[in-house]
Chains A and B, each alone.
Chain A
Amino acid sequence: NAGVTQTPKFQVLKTGQSMTLQCAQDMNHNSMYWYRQDPGMGLRLIYYSASEGTTDKGEVPNGYNVSRLNKREFSLRLESAAPSQTSVYFCASRQGYGYTFGSGTRLTVV
């Protein structure tokens, strides 16, 4: 099915470890986004990419880096994970006003 695919679905990290969350879309959308979702705070924008080759910071970029590998793929990297980064991470792609979200990665940092 067409859509946004995120891997992995679950991950447990130790404080200080690094990891990359992967996201791929097959809808030929130009723009892609990374959000984090925390209880009582909705979804907050971490980084976004308007088009291949460009990235910009969102509301909560500290502690994260991103790479727009090509038009399909947009990865999120945690270089040194902290307990405050325990969250559910969602990737999304956009065409026009419509956003399509992946099913999320649940990350726990202990």
Chain B
Amino acid sequence: QQQVKQSPQSLIVQKGGISIINCAYENTAFDYFPWYQQFPGKGPALLIAIRPDVSEKKEGRFTISFNKSAKQFSLHIMDSQPGDSATYFCAASREASGSARQLTFGSGTQLTVLP
């Protein structure tokens, strides 16, 4: 079963608009929530991350909103640009055996920003 559910699967916005991607998780052992950006032919790259004791984190045009009680978090991209066109993954991290951590990904959102 999908431990981290992500929506929408695809998103098209106009240049200058706001892109919003939503995620929900089930396992309360998750303690770190990153977002990754992936361009075609590349591996995922960390975009922004949040811990559950914080309700919002902003870095430039990117903001994470976090609702611990609802077990939901979202990524907002303000003033979206064509260069933001990529696949975005939410993820959730928890401690695992042997001092490792496990990172569980959502299913991804294909964002297209029209010029």
Chain A residues engaging chain B, CB cutoff 8 angstroms: 4, 30-31, 33, 35, 40-45, 48-51, 54, 56, 58-59, 90, 92, 94, 97-99, 101-104
Chain B residues engaging chain A, CB cutoff 8 angstroms: 4, 6, 9, 32, 34, 41-46, 49, 89, 93, 96-108
Main secondary structure of the interface of A (DSSP, over half): strand
- Contact between A58 and B44 (Cβ–Cβ < 8 Å)? no
Which B residues are in CB contact (< 8 Å) with A4?
Answer: 43
> In whole angstroms, how far apart are the Cα atoms of A78 and B41 in the complex?
22
- Contact between A44 and B105 (Cβ–Cβ < 8 Å)? yes
- Contact between A56 and B100 (Cβ–Cβ < 8 Å)? yes
Which A residues are in CB contact (< 8 Å) with B41?
Answer: 103-104
> In whole angstroms, how far apart are the Cα atoms of A35 and B38 in the complex?
14
**Contacts between chains A and B (CB distance < 8 A), count:** 67
Question: Which of B46, B93, B107 lies in contact with A41, CB distance below 8 A?
Answer: B107
- Contact between B43 and A51 (Cβ–Cβ < 8 Å)? no
Nearest 4 A-B pairs (CB), nearest first? A101-B43, A50-B100, A50-B98, A42-B105
Q: Considering only CB atoms, which chain B residue lies closest to A35 in the complex? A: B105
> In whole angstroms, how far apart are the Cα atoms of A46 and B89 in the complex?
18
A-B CB contact pairs (8 Å), 10 listed? A42-B4, A42-B105, A45-B104, A50-B99, A56-B97, A58-B102, A94-B101, A101-B44, A103-B41, A103-B43
Which B residues are in CB contact (< 8 Å) with A40?
Answer: 9, 107-108
> In whole angstroms, how far apart are the Cα atoms of A104 and B106 in the complex?
18
Q: Considering only CB atoms, which chain B residue lies closest to A43 in the complex? A: B105
